[in-house]
Amino acid sequence: MFIIKKSGQLEIFDPHKILTSIENSAKDIGIALNSSDLNLIQHDIYIKISNLRKHHEHISSYELTSIVIEVLTDLGFNRILKSYLQI
């Protein structure tokens, strides 16, 4: 799967980049996410991407950001979400 960047360039989807960004956002506000939190976040993001793009099409960075927002909200990580959006 590829991410369509804001510039229009394609980049191979790397879920670790998203998780690292979320984890860094949490650390910025003094919250430590454990491995089960990160696994749950990654799983939920993957499920939502799969439901949106059933045939492994490209996904835009805007869609991916919306999915991350939805997942963090659904899981109750509202403080981390606020920090994430400030990136």
pLDDT tens digit string along 12-63? 989 899 999 999 999 999 999 999 999 999 999 999 998 887 776 888 999 9
What is the per-residue pLDDT for 25? Answer: 97
18 vs 46: CA distance, rounded Å: 11
DSSP label at residue 8: S
What is the per-residue pLDDT for 27? Answer: 97
What is the per-residue pLDDT for 56? Answer: 67
pLDDT tens digit string along 63-82? 999 999 999 999 999 999 99
pTM for the model: 0.87
DSSP label at residue 86: T
* Cβ 16 vs Cβ 39: under 8 Å: no
